[in-house]
């Protein structure tokens, strides 16, 4: 799909011939993210969808009793700028808020902002180098001090300072200055034209901490701030107690800036244990109201749901379980480095072999038998509900066709049934981390490969080693010392740019960069690089979307990676809980102020 066709679709939405939601789903099917799709509509002058706040029925603040939620991996710190995983962000989000949040369709919804900036209202600069945010005026911090533009400026200074070692630094470091236009207006200026200006101060990484509390603890002293474990924010609940790794407790914020909210008098986020028993406590015994990240087998979920006290819900996000094909030779050492770009892979550089491999991954069985509603079989590297899969990137499981391709490419079966060409034999090592669904997936792939004359040796590595950044260990995924490897890559950002950078040639993981480069397949392609550079500065969302679709197609058609399952966010929800609308593009607790019990 090119730019012209995209514009046609946007036009159809504008005149009402195509529903907004359907458009977003189509874009997601093409490998884009929902926030990017809704940005395309916004820039074409299609109004933002009205937020469905009508669903919130409580008519007064409080009175809802306690809200009890389970995070089986519980927060270990509550400073959003230090959050290591989503668990820490989710915990912080009870107390802290960003300027705007992403709803399930990827739309920006104002939280601490008075309105969403756009080209139409003149708040987004035409050159893409600035954006102006108007802040809500009636917001106060939990200690009664007013929330102002100074706080926004401070958060940028705090996070962008490398000495602070904030995990949010990449969202803030490219802002060259923030001007305080008045007490409640700020203008952000970017170094380069920035199409995705809503990275800073929005969603996951946009939570704002108070200047008057954190100012003495900027830079190297940041870890000494008492407020790192005693949050003081603007959120719907106020801090009561926090025990790292165990429990977070909060109570109703009587000065919250939204009317009649929040509904619950107290909130308790309990941690520890495992996903299955957390699901039980919500769905079967009803002890708890909500449980996060249910990595539970489909069959167990169905059995638990029979009790009727709750159910498992899913929301699409951006995580993808995929197989990577090494483009370099892991078995040859060049200047002390395996998988060096100087040694191309003996047979994975042959497109025919990769095409065949792609046909040998039985995504249908993997979805049905292993992931259930927790995942969707996909051909795209980002995400794709089966209905809207683009024709150019369709998945197929076909052993016969794989055999034909290999035959045609001259890979002949040897006496042992394994294909070979010259002295190269189709024998590969396929590694992943230790995790039951992954070992089952490996077995399914290995079986199909054997039928096509490819021998696979399976290797599984403890997750703590596989995902570590210990450059000296050959088993880490970034060194990729085998032919194939499989893991889930998290998108964690509503914009695909950072995500797609993992195929850019300058990101190649190597000994020189201590294996910190993100291009782990070591695939290098000039055309891809050019497309990426163009997308970086392209301000027209439709043109930019077309570029990303093209990049996605290149990766898929060349079979650099073999996407398997697009993993949904799955959560256990009490049947009495309402208004939670979990967004796959933001924290589970992003919408907490709207949660209530029927």
Partner 1 sequence: MSRYVVRRLLIAVPVIFGISLVLFTILALAPGDPFEELATNPNVPPEVRMNLRTQFGLDDPLPVRYVRWLGSMLHGDWGFSFVSRINVATLILQRLPTSLFVLGSAQVLGLLIALPIGTYSALRPYSTFDQIATTLAFIGFSLPTFFTGLVFILVFSLTLDWLPFIYRADIPATGWRWWWENARQAAMPVAVLGLFQGATLTRFVRSAVLDVIRLDFVNTARAKGLSERVTIVKHVIRNALIPVVTLVALQIPAIFTGAVITEQIFRVPGIGSLLISSILANDTPVIMAITFVFSCLVVIFNLVADLLYGWLDPRISYR
Q: Does 53 bind partner 1 (CB under 8 A)?
A: no
Q: Which of 60, 177, 223, 302 binds partner 1 (CB under 8 A)?
A: 223
**Tokens representing residue 548 in the block:** 């990303």
Cβ proximity to partner 1: between 76 and 253 the closer is: 76
Report if residue 280 touches partner 1, rule: CB under 8 A: yes
Residue nearer to partner 1 on the CB measure, 114 or 227: 227
* Residue 540 binding partner 1, by CB under 8 A: no
Q: Tell me if 319 contacts partner 1 by CB under 8 A.
A: no
Taking CB under 8 A as the rule, does residue 12 contact partner 1?
no
Running DSSP on this structure, what letter comes out for residue 113? B
Q: How far is the CB of 519 from partner 1 (least distance, A)?
A: 11
How large is the angle between the packed helices 541-557 and 34-43, nearest 10 degrees? 150
Strands 455-461, 427-433: pairing is parallel
Give CA–CA dist 380/89, Å, rounded.
28
Give the residue with the Cβ less far from partner 1, 173 or 413: 173
Under the binding rule (CB under 8 A), the answer on residue 288 touching partner 1 is yes
Q: Report how far Cα 158 is from the mean position of its chain's Cα atoms.
A: 24
277 binds partner 1 (CB under 8 A): yes
Q: How far is the CB of 499 from partner 1 (least distance, A)?
A: 6
Burial of 436 (0-12, 13-18, 19+ CB in 10 A): exposed
Mark the segment that binds partner 1 (CB under 8 A) among 50-58, 222-230, 340-348, 356-364. Answer: 222-230
Q: Figure out which of the listed residues 184, 263, 270, 580 binds partner 1, where binding follows CB under 8 A.
A: 270
Site membership for partner 1, residue 64 (CB under 8 A): no
Least distance from partner 1 to the Cβ atom of residue 337, Å = 18
Residue from the set 253, 314, 491, 519 that interacts with partner 1 by CB under 8 A: 491
CA–CA distance, 13 with 7 (Å, rounded to integer): 10
CA-CA distances (angstroms) from residue 277 to 313, 406, 456, 567, 573? Answer: 16, 47, 36, 21, 14
| Candidates 265-273, 353-361, 531-539, 585-593; binding stretch for partner 1 (CB under 8 A) | 265-273
Q: Are 598 and 576 in contact (CB under 8 A)?
A: yes
CB–CB of 460/432 below 8 Å?
A: yes
Nearer to partner 1, 487 or 523 (CB): 487
253 scored as a contact of partner 1 (CB under 8 A): no
Q: Whose Cβ is closer to partner 1: residue 190's or residue 395's?
A: 190
The sign of the CA dihedral 167, 172, 176, 179 is: negative
> Judging by beta carbons within 10 Å of its beta carbon (0-12, 13-18, 19+), is residue 568 exposed, middle or buried?
buried
Is 227 a binding residue for partner 1 by CB under 8 A? The answer is no
Give the chain's count of helices (H) and strands (E): 17, 21
Of 350, 272, 337, 266, the closest CA to residue 597 belongs to: 266
Instruction: Give yes or no for residue 268 binding partner 1 (CB under 8 A).
Output: yes
**Nearest-angstrom CA–CA distance, 528 and 503:** 8
| 209 φ/ψ angles, rounded to the nearest 5 degrees | -105, 155
Footprint of partner 1 on 165-194 (CB under 8 A): 165-167, 169-171
Residue 501 lies near partner 1 (rule: CB under 8 A): yes
User: Which one among 11, 241, 400, 416 touches partner 1, defined by CB under 8 A?
Assistant: 241
Residue 579: both structure tokens together: 């208004």
The residues binding partner 1 (CB under 8 A) are 66, 70, 76-77, 79, 82, 84-85, 162-163, 165-167, 169-171, 205, 220, 223, 228-229, 241, 243-247, 249, 266, 268, 270-274, 277, 280-281, 284-285, 287-288, 462, 464-465, 467-470, 473, 478, 487, 489-493, 498-499, 501-502, 513-514, 516, 518
């Amino acid at each position: 799909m090119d730019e012209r066709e995209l514009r046609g679709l946007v036009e159809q939405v504008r005149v009402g011939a195509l529903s907004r939601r359907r458009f977003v789903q189509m874009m997601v099917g093409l490998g884009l993210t929902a926030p990017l799709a809704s940005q395309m509509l916004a820039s074409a002058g299609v109004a933002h969808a009205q937020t469905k706040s009508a669903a919130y029925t409580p008519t007064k603040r409080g009175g809802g009793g306690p809200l009890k939620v389970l995070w089986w991996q519980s927060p270990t710190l509550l400073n959003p700028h230090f959050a290591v995983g989503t668990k820490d962000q989710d915990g912080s989000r009870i107390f802290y808020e960003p300027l705007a949040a992403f709803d399930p369709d990827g739309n920006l919804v104002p939280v601490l902002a008075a309105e969403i900036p756009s080209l139409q209202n003149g708040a987004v600069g035409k050159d893409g180098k600035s954006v102006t945010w108007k802040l809500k005026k009636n917001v106060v911090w939990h200690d009664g001090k007013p929330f102002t533009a100074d706080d926004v400026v401070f958060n940028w200074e705090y996070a962008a300072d490398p000495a602070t070692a904030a995990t949010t630094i990449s969202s803030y470091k490219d802002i060259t200055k923030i001007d305080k236009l008045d007490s409640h207006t700020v203008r952000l200026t970017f170094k380069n034209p920035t199409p995705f200006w809503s990275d800073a101060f929005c969603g996951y990484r946009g939570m704002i901490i108070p200047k008057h509390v954190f100012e003495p603890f900027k830079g190297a002293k940041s870890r000494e701030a008492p407020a790192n474990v005693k949050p003081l924010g603007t959120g719907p609940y106020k801090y009561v107690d926090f025990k790292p790794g165990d429990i977070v407790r909060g109570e109703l914020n009587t000065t919250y800036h939204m009317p009649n909210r929040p509904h619950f008098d107290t909130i308790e986020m309990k941690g520890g244990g495992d996903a299955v028993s957390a699901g039980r406590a919500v769905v079967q015994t009803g002890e708890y109201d909500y449980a996060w990240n249910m990595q539970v087998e489909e069959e167990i979920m169905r059995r638990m749901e029979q009790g009727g006290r709750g159910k498992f819900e899913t929301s699409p996000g951006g995580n993808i379980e995929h197989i990577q094909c090494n483009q370099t030779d892991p078995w040859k050492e060049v200047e002390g480095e395996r998988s060096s770009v100087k040694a191309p892979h003996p047979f994975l550089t042959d497109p025919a072999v990769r095409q065949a491999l792609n046909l040998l991954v039985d995504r249908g069985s993997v979805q049905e038998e292993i992931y259930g509603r927790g995942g969707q079989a996909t051909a795209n590297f980002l995400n794709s509900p089966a209905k809207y899969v683009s024709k150019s990137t369709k998945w197929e499981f076909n052993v016969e066709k794989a055999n034909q391709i290999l035959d045609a490419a001259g890979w002949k079966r040897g006496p042992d049934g394994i294909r070979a060409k010259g002295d190269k034999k189709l024998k590969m090592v396929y590694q992943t981390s230790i995790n039951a669904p992954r070992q089952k997936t490996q077995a399914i792939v290995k079986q199909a490969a054997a039928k096509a004359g490819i021998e696979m040796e399976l290797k599984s590595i403890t997750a703590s080693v596989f995902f570590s950044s210990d450059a000296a260990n050959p088993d880490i995924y970034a060194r990729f010392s085998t032919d194939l490897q499989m893991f889930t890559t998290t998108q964690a950002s509503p914009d695909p740019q950072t995500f797609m950078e993992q195929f850019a040639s300058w990101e190649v993981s190597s000994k020189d960069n201590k294996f910190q480069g993100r291009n782990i397949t070591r695939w290098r392609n000039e055309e891809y690089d050019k497309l990426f550079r163009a997308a970086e500065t392209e301000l027209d969302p439709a043109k930019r979307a077309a570029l990303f679709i093209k990049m996605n197609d290149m990766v898929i058609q060349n079979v650099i990676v073999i996407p398997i399952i697009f993993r949904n966010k799955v959560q256990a929800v009490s049947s009495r809980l309402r208004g939670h609308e979990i967004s796959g593009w933001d924290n589970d607790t992003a919408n907490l102020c709207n949660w209530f019990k029927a």
